[in-house]
Amino acid sequence: MRVSLVCAWLLLPMGIVGCEAGDPTPSSALDATDGDAASPASCAPDRAIAPAPAGSCPRDPTDFVPGSETDGWPACVVDDGLYHPFSASVASLTRVEAFERIASILRFGGDSVPTGADFVEARAIYSADEGIGSRVVRREDEHYPPAAKACRDMNPDEIAANADRCVGPAKILPILTRAFADGANGVDPLGNAARIEAALLWFFYVSAHKEATTCASKAADCDSMWAKYSGGEPRTSAKGLSRYVRARSPTAHDRAYDGLLAVRCWRDLDNPSGVAADLATRDRARTQLDRALLRGLAVIVRQRSLERACGGAWQGVRVLGAVLDRAATARDAAKAAVLRAELAKTTPDGVDQAKLLGALDALFPCP
């Protein structure tokens, strides 16, 4: 394995990234960073985005519906269909802007090959003070029970032992670290750009769920939830994660936006100036949001898997597809095993498209 030309540079951001002579330990159930063969630039993964099949997806009876008088929710501030921030300034919006800058530099979804200098520039944006990187290293996944202490206070062995909960430092960070380094060295630039794209979308997904959870004690975290998904855009527009979802499933995007408003409605009704007490309604809103976001991730994986021969699309599919495994296994372990087996294939050539799409559509049919 070649000695990294950017090793010294990687030691600078956040003071935590080291350089190794050998391959790093796989950071998730799927080692989505294996294989150094360059991804072909034969076509753009986003060359023809069409909305995924919608099917019949009635709303869950417990869902919040803005402006409805029959949804079982009391009237609240977001019944006008708009998100009303608690704070005049929402710092998370700058991180979504940073993602969009990185997307432009690394040409996410395109067939133009980023240069080593592009990866260096993108890494600098990622590593900026109070930027995306500062949150990745401490991100916890609230889908899993809390550990004995915060992940940010753990040593490396403790983080590894709590990898599901400590998703940022244990799983997302290793993918980003290696992909930025390899890309800067000219190794599989399309594949590494796709890995970075998928890992950052993963971060925004778990972050939206995390902020919806911690909003119970800090109302401003609801604003961060809204920002992490929408980028501060109204329902009719999109930025960041919402841009990906809306392009592939307007229905999933619409339901995700309703989920954001459900969380905001709960917080409006539950001591908005203090600590919330009605966690049952919080969880009802959070479930509504998460269901839509999971469908959103599924349609991204679906569309990119159809274009898996283009550029580094399959490498991104393997990263983002693995994020669905927790929910997939809870819904149907047998179908989840089929999906896992297809995503475990390191190259797109041997993928059974019918099996992959069949499992994906059966597991995540509706938002």
Q: What is the pLDDT of residues 82-110, one digit of tens each?
A: 999 999 999 999 999 999 999 999 999 99
Q: How many helices (H) and strands (E) does the chain have?
A: 16, 0
* pLDDT, tens digit (0-9, with 9 covering 90-100), for 341-365: 999 999 999 999 999 999 999 999 9
Question: What is the C-alpha separation between 135 and 323, in angstroms, rounded?
Answer: 18
Supply 135's token pair: 């949150």
- DSSP character string of 226-278: HHHHHTT--TTS--THHHHHHHH-HHHHHHHHHHHHHHHHHHHHS-TTS----
Number of neighbouring beta carbons within 10 Å of residue 121:
17
Q: Return d(Cα 53, Cα 46) in angstroms, integer.
A: 17
| pLDDT value of residue 11 | 40
Tell me what pLDDT residue 82 has: 98
Please tell me the distance from the alpha carbon of residue 167 to that of residue 162, in angstroms, as a whole number. Answer: 8
* Average pLDDT along the chain: 91
Q: Assess contact for 204 and 348: CB atoms under 8 A.
A: no
Amino acid found at 206 = V
> Which among 299, 307, 171 is positioned nearest to 241, based on CA atoms?
299
Burial state string for 348-367 with b = 16 or more CB within 10 A and e = fewer than 16: beebeeeebbebbbebbebb
CB 286 within 8 A of CB 60: no
If phi > 0 it is left, if psi is from -120 to 50 it is alpha, else beta; for residue 261 that is: alpha
Closest CA to 170 of 194, 197, 211, 202: 202
Residue ranges of domains in the chain: 89-363
- State the pLDDT confidence band at 8, using cuts at 50, 70 and 90: very low
240 phi/psi in degrees, rounded to 5: 65, -135
pLDDT of residue 109: 96
Q: How far apart are CA 80 and CA 84, in angstroms?
A: 10
Q: Please check whether residue 146 is in contact with residue 127, taking contact to mean a CB–CB distance below 8 angstroms.
A: no
The pLDDT tens digits for 226-271 are 999 999 999 999 999 999 999 999 999 999 999 999 999 999 999 9
Given a cut of 80, is residue 54 above it in pLDDT? no
Is there a contact between 224 and 335 (Cβ–Cβ < 8 Å)? no
Residue 39 has pLDDT above 80, yes or no: no
CB 286 within 8 A of CB 21: no
Q: Which stretches of the chain are assigned E, i.e. beta strand? A: none
Of 7-21, 54-68, 320-334, the one with minimum mean pLDDT is 7-21
CA distance 266 to 208: 16
36-65 burial code (b ≥16 CB/10 A, e <16) = eeebeeeebbbeebeebeeeeeeeeeebbb
Is residue 28 pLDDT above 50, yes or no? no
Tens digit of pLDDT for each residue in 279-335? 999 999 999 999 999 999 999 999 999 999 998 999 999 999 999 999 999 999 999
Q: What is the mean pLDDT of residues 7-11?
A: 41
Interval 111-132 mean pLDDT: 98
The answer to whether the predicted template modeling score (pTM) of the entire model surpasses 0.85 is: yes
Using pLDDT thresholds of 50, 70 and 90, give the confidence band for residue 52: confident
Q: Give whole-number Cα distances, 6 to 119, 120, 154, 174, 334, in Å.
A: 11, 9, 27, 16, 43
pLDDT digits (tens, 9 = 90+) for 143-179: 999 999 999 999 999 999 999 999 999 999 999 999 9
- Asked whether the predicted pLDDT for residue 137 surpasses 50, the reply is yes
Residue 35 pLDDT > 60, yes or no? no
Rounded CA separation 92/89 (Å): 9
pLDDT value, residue 42:
74
Q: Tell me what pLDDT residue 48 has.
A: 82
